[in-house]
Amino acid sequence: MVKACTGKILRIDLSTEETKEEETSLDFMKTHLGSLGLAAKVMLEEVEPEVSPLNPENRLIIAAGLLVGTPVPCGNKSIVIARSPLTGIWGDSVFSATFGIELKRCGYDMLIAKGKADSPRYLWIQNGNIEFRDANHLWGQHTFDVYETIKKEIEDPRAGVIGIGPAGEEMVSLAGLISDEGRAAGRAGLGAVMGSKNLKALAARGTDKLELEDRDEFMRIRSEALKNISDSPGTRSMRSYGTAGGVVAHEEAGNLPIRNWTRGKLPRVEEISGNYMAEIGVLISNKACYGCPIACGRYVEVKEDPYKMKGYGPEYETLAGLGSYCWNTDLASISKANDICNRYGIDTISTGSVIAFAMECYENGLITKEDTEGIDLAWGNSEAVVEMAELIGKKEGFGAILGRGVKAAAEKIGKDAERFAIHVKGLELPAHNPYKYKSMGLNYATGNRGACHNRGSPSYPARGMLSPEVGIKQKLDPLTIEGKAKVTKIHQDLCTAVDALGVCKFAIFFCGMSLSQVEDMFNAATGWNLTWDDLLQAGERIWYLERAFNIRMGVTRKDDSLPERFLKEAVPDGAVKGETVNLKPMLKEYYELRGFDETGRPKTEKLRNLDLDYVVPLLYGGT
């Protein structure tokens, strides 16, 4: 019998309103770490290159982590997967919410949706009962209003709900999914895929309990892990200030993106920090995800117009995206713009990036107020950040152009605007600086969804966060390229495995829970007796499946690069003054370690060594 997971997936056809349950192979789950590995295989085998992201035949997958639903600390992560309308390639986004937990309690590790409903629908999954419910009355409503209505209609306030806002309905390329707890699966435009299927939301509530192989041993290790988390200085900092507490330190270190990556110092940076948020009374309380003792989330209130709001507060990435990216140090405006993004259901990272791109275009005369409906896109204009965020969410005016993402917006504007479009494979960069951390530059260049800090964070070893269980035992110089290819590969495989398990990386890398404790709890839960060598190899398998999907979508070596800005243009000030990224030798070594050929394809020998023989004909032909 399968332990810690259900061994079943739920397939949904929105066109016919038919559902089907499928059982999964235990051997496959062991070697591919459950539903994330299976989702990668499904995408590779079922989404053909001619199936565009908004085609009904594109799959929308929600995969709960393997340990989600067990008592593992901070084990609340699920992942949304589809072909991305923003990039045209592999798209995924991890989120924390009770939806994945409730999905497993309903008896399913994963949900796969295809087709398109003939009118707006939401799904109500209650144990083994699946209802396709009318959502016409919800269409056009903001995210949190929708969730409140759904919970009243299904008469269950404890149901887990995730869905889209108006931006997803309008198929804005920056649209994500937002959970009822304010957590976002924001990246890669997957909310647009959901909107293209006329699917407004999913709600789940189950009563099944997952069995553990050795509950007593699991709970013993869990107690040790909880003590480590409780005693960790990282936990105390996260609880007090959240990820926002790192803003000033990141700026001082040269890690903060400033003025669309053209500066290294931000005047008055302390005014967008988590500390400042607490000092001036904007912070009301911290917020915890389900089963998390850290509570790094923020709940904030701005009491005065024009930015009056009350709701989930900005995290580090948002403070950077809607703040430093745009030369904006008005905390109230960032909080308001963040709230707009949450309610319309758009990614704050990409939204901030595309507004900063527009500001640089405006500065250089490529666009004027005539293009922007009178909005002054001067650097640091906090009102413009808020106004443009709302226009993007509504898909109106110039916001409709920016809502396509920086790559498509630059193509639309023309006039050499591509120089200012900072992205990798179409995905805008998050708030971790390749000028400072050369390994992060390589990670962005080779990321399967584009510029991604989640599926690989090789800057951690340079910041002293080591992982001896997987061979990362010493701190690295962030500014050199030596050893960066190896640590990047390891960290990509490691973070893929952690995502597959459904455990929060903050707990592991910042807040005291060790990889050894995760391994021991995993084995006590499943009885599989895998080591981190096994888990790392499983993460590697998933990585190659995602890469194979991208190869089929047209990705080649030329796409494994960085914007010219990082390769040739140094910033004039700050801790990274004069730095550029020497990508070519790192990429060459990385390809050798990955077993890629000169075009970027995984070699057949490498695939077969990983027992991925079924991938070979998909990339090379034959049977």
pTM beyond 0.95, yes or no: yes
What are 191's two structure tokens?
Answer: 């909310």
Q: Look up residue 224 and give its amino acid.
A: E
**What number is the average pLDDT over the span 437-458?**
95
Helix (H) or strand (E) holding 12: strand 8-13
- pLDDT(180) > 90: no
54 vs 534: CA distance, rounded Å: 36
Q: Can you give the pLDDT at residue 473? A: 93
Mean pLDDT calculated for residue range 236-248: 96
Q: What is the DSSP string of 454-487?
A: SS--TTGGGGT--BGGGTB-S---TT--TTHHHH
pLDDT in the model for residue 455: 86
State yes or no: pLDDT of 79 exceeds 70.
yes
Q: What is the pLDDT of residues 261-315, one digit of tens each?
A: 999 999 999 999 999 999 999 999 999 999 999 999 999 999 999 999 999 999 9
Closest residue by Cα to residue 179 from 82, 321, 84, 290: 290
Residue 380, pLDDT > 60, answer yes
Judging by DSSP bridges, how do beta strands 129-134 and 60-64 pair with one another?
unpaired
| DSSP one-letter code for 444 | H
Q: What pLDDT score does 111 carry?
A: 98
The pLDDT of residue 383 is 98
Other C-beta atoms lying within 10 Å of the C-beta of residue 463: 17
Q: What is the pLDDT of residues 115-162, one digit of tens each?
A: 999 999 999 999 989 999 999 999 999 999 999 999 999 999 999 999
Q: Pull the structure tokens for residue 157.
A: 């306030």
For residue 430, what pLDDT is reported?
A: 98
Which residue is associated with the tokens 């890398």?
A: 509
pLDDT score at 1: 57
* Confidence category of residue 75, pLDDT binned at 50, 70, 90: very high
- Span 222-246, average pLDDT: 97
- Cα 590 to Cα 462, 560, 580, 597, 602, distances in angstroms: 18, 11, 19, 11, 12
SS3 content of the chain, % helix, strand, coil (to 5): 45, 15, 40
| DSSP H/E element including 312 | strand 309-312
- Confidence class for position 20, pLDDT limits 50, 70, 90: very high
Neighbour-count burial for 202-212, b at 16+ CB within 10 Å, e otherwise: bbbbbeeebeb
pLDDT digits (tens, 9 = 90+) for 593-607: 999 999 999 999 999
Nearest Cα to 408, choosing from 390, 393, 424, 421?
A: 421
Cβ contact 509:457 at 8 Å = yes
| Structure confidence at residue 181 as a pLDDT band (50, 70, 90) | confident
Model pLDDT for residues 571-591, shown as the tens digit of each residue: 999 999 999 999 999 999 999
Length of the chain counted residue by residue: 623
Q: Which two tokens stand for residue 468?
A: 């001896």
What's the Cα-to-Cα distance from 439 to each of 138, 430, 492, 563, 616, rounded to whole Å? 44, 14, 11, 15, 29
Q: Given a cut of 80, is residue 106 above it in pLDDT?
A: yes
Mean confidence (pLDDT) of the chain: 97
Does the pLDDT of residue 393 top 90, yes or no?
Answer: yes
Q: Is the peptide bond before 306 cis (omega within 30 degrees of 0)?
A: yes
Which architecture does CATH list for 242-428?
Answer: Orthogonal Bundle (1.10)
Around 417, how many Cα atoms within 13 Å sit in the side-chain half-sphere? 24
Find tokens 């989640």 and name the residue. Answer: 454
pLDDT tens digits for 32-74? Answer: 999 999 999 999 999 999 999 999 999 999 999 999 999 999 9
Give buried/exposed letters for 576-610 (b at 16+ CB in 10 A, else e): beebbbebeebbebbbeebbbeeebbbebebbeeb
Q: Say if strands 110-114 and 8-13 run parallel, antiparallel, or are unpaired.
A: parallel
- CA angle centred on 160, ends 342 and 166, rounded to 5°: 30
In CATH, the number for domain 438-561+582-620 is 1.10.599.10
pLDDT of residue 458: 85
Of 328, 279, 277, 276, nearest in space to 301 by CA:
277
CA angle centred on 169, ends 167 and 42, rounded to 5°: 105
Looking at domain 8-205, its CATH superfamily turns out to be Aldehyde ferredoxin oxidoreductase, N-terminal domain (3.60.9.10)
Strands laid side by side in the 297-302 sheet? 283-287, 297-302, 309-312
pLDDT of residue 515: 98
In three-state secondary structure terms, 596 is strand
Longest dimension (CA), the chain: 67
Question: Is the confidence at residue 622, as pLDDT, over 90?
Answer: no
pLDDT for the residue 421: 99
- The pLDDT-based confidence of 232 (bands split at 50, 70, 90) is very high
Give the model's pLDDT for residue 623: 63
Of the CA atoms within 13 Å of residue 125, those in its CB half-sphere come to 30
**What are the extents of the domains in the chain?**
8-205, 242-428, 438-561+582-620
Q: Who contacts 426 (Cβ-Cβ below 8 Å, separation ≥6)?
A: 84, 86, 87, 88, 89, 405, 407, 408, 450
CA–CA separation, 610 vs 215, rounded Å? 32
Structure confidence at residue 55 (pLDDT): 99
Proportion of the chain above pLDDT 70, given as a percent:
100
